[in-house]
C-alpha cells in the first residue's frame, strides 16, 4: 500500500466529523451514534490503534482483540445508558490511547488472551462514555448500534493500515509513537483537571 492510499484512508475517516459540523445531522439515534466515534480524538485514535495493534499481533489475536473491544464497548455503552456509574472513565480513556500507542510503537507481543483482556478493559470505559453521552432526543439502542458499527469500521481501517505497513515497521512504529504522544497529552489534560 502506498503512502497516498494511507493518507486517503485517513482523510475518508475524517469526513464524518466534517459532515457533523453542520447542524441537523445525525440526531435520530443511529446517525448520531455512527458519527460519535469520529468526533473525539481520544475515541478515534483508540479505535484505529486497536486495529493497528491487532494487525501486528497476528494469529487469532488479529480478530479476537478487535472483537473483544467491540463486545465490551457495547457492554459499557449499555451500562452508560442505564445510568450505572464507573469511576475514572476519562482517565481510563486517556490511558488507553497512551498504552495502545505504546503497544504499536514497541511492537508489544502478548498472548491473545492478554490482548483481549487489556482492550476489553479499555473498551468498557470507552463504551460507558459513549452510552452516557447519548443525546436525549436519540434512541439509545439505535445510537449504540451506530456507534458499534463505526467503531468496527475504525478497527478494520486500523487493521488494514497496520497490515499494509508491516513491510515498513518504522512507519508503523512512528504512527504508534504519534498516538502515544497524543495519549500522553490526554493523560496530562486529565491530571490537570483533577
Averaged over successive runs of 10 residues, the pLDDT of the chain (194 residues) comes to 51 44 50 86 95 94 96 96 93 97 95 96 95 76 92 96 92 95 96 86
d(CA 134, CA 127): 11
| Residue 4 confidence (pLDDT) | 54
| Residue 17 confidence (pLDDT) | 43
* 39 in Cβ contact with 14 (< 8 Å): no
In total, the chain counts a number of residues equal to 194
CB count in 10 Å sphere of residue 157? 18
Q: Which three cell numbers stand for residue 91?
A: 482517565
Q: Which three cell numbers stand for residue 188?
A: 496530562
| Residue 14 confidence (pLDDT) | 47
| Residue 178 confidence (pLDDT) | 97
Helices 112-132 and 61-81: crossing angle in degrees, nearest 10, is: 30
Tell me how far CA of residue 43 lies from CA of 1, 4, 110, 140, 167, in angstroms. 25, 24, 23, 19, 27
| Residue 139 confidence (pLDDT) | 80
* 166 in Cβ contact with 62 (< 8 Å): no
Give this prediction's pTM: 0.83
* 47 in Cβ contact with 37 (< 8 Å): yes
For the chain, what are the domain ranges? 3-16+30-193
Q: Which three cell numbers stand for residue 99?
A: 498504552
What are the residue ranges of helices labelled H in the chain? 3-19, 30-39, 41-57, 61-81, 89-105, 112-132, 140-164, 169-193
CB count in 10 Å sphere of residue 51? 26
| Residue 131 confidence (pLDDT) | 86
| Residue 74 confidence (pLDDT) | 96
Residue of 56, 74, 170 lying closest to 115 (CA atoms): 56
Q: Cβ contacts of residue 81 below 8 Å, gap of 6+?
A: 131, 132, 134, 140, 141, 144
d(CA 122, CA 174): 22
Amino acid at each position: 500500500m502506498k503512502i497516498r492510499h494511507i493518507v486517503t484512508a485517513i482523510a475518508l475517516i475524517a469526513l464524518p466529523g466534517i459532515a457533523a459540523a453542520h447542524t441537523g445531522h445525525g440526531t435520530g439515534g443511529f446517525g448520531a451514534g455512527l458519527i460519535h466515534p469520529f468526533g473525539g480524538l481520544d475515541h478515534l485514535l483508540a479505535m484505529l490503534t486497536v486495529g493497528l495493534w491487532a494487525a501486528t499481533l497476528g494469529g487469532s489475536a488479529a480478530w479476537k482483540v478487535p472483537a473483544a473491544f467491540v463486545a465490551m464497548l457495547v457492554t459499557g455503552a449499555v451500562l452508560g445508558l442505564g445510568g450505572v456509574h464507573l469511576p475514572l472513565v476519562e482517565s481510563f480513556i486517556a490511558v488507553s490511547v497512551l498504552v495502545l500507542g505504546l503497544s504499536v510503537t514497541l511492537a508489544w507481543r502478548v498472548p491473545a488472551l492478554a490482548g483481549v483482556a487489556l482492550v476489553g478493559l479499555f473498551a468498557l470505559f470507552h463504551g460507558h462514555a459513549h452510552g452516557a453521552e447519548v443525546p436525549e432526543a436519540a434512541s439509545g439502542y439505535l445510537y449504540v448500534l451506530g456507534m458499534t458499527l463505526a467503531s468496527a469500521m475504525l478497527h478494520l481501517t486500523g487493521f488494514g493500515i497496520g497490515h499494509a505497513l508491516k513491510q515498513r515497521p518504522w512507519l508503523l512504529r512512528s504512527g504508534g509513537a504519534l498516538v502515544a504522544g497524543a495519549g500522553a497529552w490526554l493523560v496530562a489534560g486529565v491530571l490537570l483537571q483533577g
